[in-house]
Amino acid sequence: MPGVFSQDYSAFPFVFFSASHIVMIVLFAAVSALLFIFRKGLYRHDRKFRLYMFLLLFILELLYHLWLYHGGKWDISFTLPLQLCSISLILCLLLLASKSKAVFQIVYYIGVTGAIMAILTPELFLGFPHFRYFQFFITHNLIVWTCLYFVFVHQFRPTGKGLFQSFIFLNLCAAAAFFANKLTGGNYMFLSRKPENNSLLDYFGPYPYYIITLEIAALFLFSLLLLPFKMIGKNKAGKAESA
């Protein structure tokens, strides 16, 4: 079906919380659970599994840029790796290749937060069965799955120090995105305007005040991502004291 690679945005419109959207949300939850269930078996095949995830992420992102270029749509106003999930994707590739705990700290917070928001409220204009539909959801799912893989299989743990490092890194990226927006007329990290699709930003106030709300929301969401590990740590400490 050649139409699935077309640039005709009216042929396969994306509809929020349609059957195809819900399928991808269910897939995200199901694979996340399977990563936990089969964590010991995955550890035995760690190198091979990391290679598969690396190649899938890299190839899907490469195909996306080739699809844009072939259709005459590639433009530096939105194709530079300055969106939150684009940055997270690059960090995931580094993490899969290096198993760096420093990279994990950053991508765990910004990657999981950004990708889950994108999965639930995607800025997507092409739906099932278009190539972009599959590319968008699989890459965003893989960002979270990569983080969960290292939590479940390699027992990596986010830290409070990592939270603040991630917040600083996020703001450095935002500064770069701000200047890129000025130079290209783009909207990297939604610092110029809200996304065209409905999103959580609709509840964060008008421009530019929603940017301040985003900062507060980022710290809150980062804290939520750390909370389960803090609770597990306290439970283990309590059991050790009572033993």
Q: What is the pLDDT along the chain (243 residues), one digit of tens a residue?
A: 458 999 988 889 999 999 999 999 999 999 999 999 999 999 999 999 999 999 999 999 999 999 999 999 999 999 999 999 999 999 999 999 999 999 999 999 999 999 999 999 998 999 999 999 999 999 999 999 999 999 999 999 999 999 999 999 999 999 999 999 999 999 999 999 988 777 777 788 888 889 999 999 999 999 999 999 998 876 665 565 555
Closest C-alpha to 63, from 2, 131, 137, 133: 131
pLDDT at 242: 58
Are 24 and 141 in contact, with CB atoms under 8 Å apart? Answer: yes
Spatial CB neighbours of 93, under 8 Å, sequence gap ≥ 6: 54, 57, 58
pLDDT at 240: 54
- In one-letter notation, the amino acid at residue 182 is K
Indicate the domain borders of the chain: 2-226
Are 114 and 144 in contact, with CB atoms under 8 Å apart? Answer: no
pLDDT at 206: 87
